[in-house]
Amino acid sequence: MTFVQNILNEIYMKYFSELSLIYESWEDAGRAIDKNSLPAMVVVLPPNGTLTWRNGRVYDSVNIAVAFLAKVQRDANGWDNDSRIADMKEYATMLLKALNESGAVEPIVSAQYTNIYERKAGIVSGCYVDLVLTNKDGWCITLPSEHTAVIPEHDKPHDTLFS
C-alpha cells in the first residue's frame, strides 16, 4: 500500500466506517458507485504527484480527489440537493481535520471542492475535494550499487498512523 492508501484507510476505519469505501479510477468509480450502498467515500486513484528532494530526503506529494456521495431522487428539488450536499461537505471537512490531526501529511490549510448535482445513473449528489497530500517525514534512499535502490527499514513510511 502507498502512504496515501494507508492514511486514508486508517482515517476511514476510525471516522467514516458507516460509509461505503470506494477506491477506484475516475473511469471505474461510476460502476463501483452503482454496486455499493450510499452514502460513500470515493477515493479516486491518484493520477500524478511530485517527488521533492530536501535535506537528503524524498517527499512524495500526491494529487488526489476524494468524493462524498449520497443518493438523491431524480429531479430532486434544490432544497433536497443542497441538504445532501451540505451533509457530504461536512464529511469532507471531517476528512481534512482528520488528515491534519494524523501528523502523517503536511498540514492542509485549504482545499478546492466541487459540488456534484444528480450525476450518474443511480442519481447521486455530494461534493469532492481536490487534495495534495505530502508525506510529512519523507524517506531516505541509499544506492548500494548501480542497479538497486534500497530504503532502509527505519526510514520506510509507517503503516500505523494512529498509534
Q: Name all domains of the chain by residue range, CATH numbers in brackets.
A: 3-48+62-134 (3.30.70)
Q: Which residues does 105 contact at the CB level (< 8 Å), separation at least 6?
A: 7, 99, 133, 134, 135, 136
In Å, the largest CA–CA distance within the chain is 64
Record the cell numbers describing residue 36, joined without a space: 455499493
Enter the pTM of the model.
0.79
Kindly report, residue by residue over 23-36, the tens digit of the pLDDT.
Answer: 998 788 888 888 88
Distance CA(68)–CA(42), nearest Å, equals: 6
Q: Would you give per-residue pLDDT tens digits along the chain (163 residues)? A: 588 888 999 999 999 999 999 999 878 888 888 888 899 999 998 889 999 998 888 999 999 999 999 988 777 666 777 888 899 999 999 999 999 999 999 999 999 999 887 666 557 888 999 999 998 888 887 766 665 555 655 555 554 444 3
